[in-house]
Structure 1
Amino acid sequence: MAVFESETTLAAPPEEVFSFLLQPARLIQISPPEIGLKFVEAPERLQMGDTFRFMVQTMGQVQTITHRITAYEDPCLFVEELIEGPLPLWVHTHSFVPLDGARTMIQDRIEFQPPGGLIGLLLTESRILDHLDDAFHHRYQQLGRLFG
């Protein structure tokens, strides 16, 4: 199993950042445009047990992926797990750590397993980690613009 970890600090309280990141429409706003994130089926605001489907473009292929919220502690943490998609395992833990009352540290941890077979020759752990580095760099830049 591979692990990706990243963090950033925003000038907003955890409640505000947590609420923002539970809204699929907001996720589109902060995602890199080249991945073409589009929600196929999702509630307006994610909650414990919700399942949501989305489409993304990776390496020239459009993938439809289904995740479920499997842990939820408002405003500290939520976890989304892959139910259906190109990888055998994907668990994304979003943690929100309060700093001095007015700031929040977001910590993202993604545990994943690259696919096997022929697709695994292209979609390697290294390529997935590089893609995640780029995607989260973009996401954190956008969040920084929105939250200061």
Structure 2
Amino acid sequence: MPHFEITTVLPVPPEQAFDACLDVEAHTRSMATSSERAVAGTTSGRLALGGTVTFQARHFGLTWRLTARITAWDRPLAFVDEQEAGPFRYWRHEHRFVAHGQGRTLMTDVIDFASPLGPLGRLADSVVLGRYMPRLITARNAYLAAHL
């Protein structure tokens, strides 16, 4: 199963970073290049433990929907979102936040995912998604760092 971690320094304290990562509008703005928008569940404001959101976006020329639920919550240290419905066989995204001096936060995204379709999915994971997904999360984090 593909696994990757991305570490980003955000120019705000952990509480603010934690809240920003749960803000649905901030998420959609950070993913504007894929025309991402919230279409069901919590479509504005901030997600909370047990909350769901369905995002619709375009990737690889196709429109996809992914419904995620916040399954773990330890403000301001960490939270987890997991796919309930969507294109992946498995998706788990842990967000970790650690104070990093001078009001900054070291944010670490820990992501595990797997595509459906058995051997074809594993091939897609290794050839395409294993590179695409880290770039997507890195771009999202760069947006957050610039706009917080």
Sequence identity percentage: 30
Is contact 1:81–1:92 with CA below 8 Å preserved after alignment?
yes
Cα pair distance change 1:121/1:111, threshold 3 Å: closer
- Matched with 2:12 is 12
Is contact 1:24–1:42 with CA below 8 Å preserved after alignment?
no
Is contact 1:89–1:112 with CA below 8 Å preserved after alignment?
yes
- Matched with 1:134 is 135
In structure 2, stretches of 5+ residues that fail to align are none
Aligned partners of 2:122 and 2:60: how far apart in 1? 13
Aligned structure 1 segments of 4 or more residues deviating by more than 2 angstroms? 117-126
Deviates more, 1:2-11 or 1:136-145: 136-145
Is contact 1:115–1:123 with CA below 8 Å preserved after alignment?
no
The alignment partner of 2:137 has SS state of helix
Is contact 2:94–2:110 with CA below 8 Å preserved after alignment?
yes
Aligned partners of 2:145 and 2:122: how far apart in 1? 35
Cα pair distance change 1:57/1:118, threshold 3 Å: farther
TM-score, with structure 2 as normaliser: 0.89
The alignment partner of 1:49 has SS state of coil
Aligned partners of 2:126 and 2:91: how far apart in 1? 12
Aligned partners of 1:128 and 1:144: how far apart in 2? 24
Cα displacement (A) at 1:123: 3.2
Is contact 2:37–2:55 with CA below 8 Å preserved after alignment?
yes
- Matched with 1:35 is 34
The alignment partner of 1:48 has SS state of coil
In structure 1, stretches of 5+ residues that fail to align are none
Deviates more, 1:56-65 or 1:130-139: 130-139
Is contact 1:114–1:125 with CA below 8 Å preserved after alignment?
no
Cα pair distance change 1:100/1:118, threshold 3 Å: closer
Cα pair distance change 1:121/1:100, threshold 3 Å: closer
Cα displacement (A) at 1:90: 0.3
AA of the residue aligned to 2:10: L
AA of the residue aligned to 1:123: A
For these two proteins, the number of residue pairs brought into alignment is: 146
TM-score, with structure 1 as normaliser: 0.89
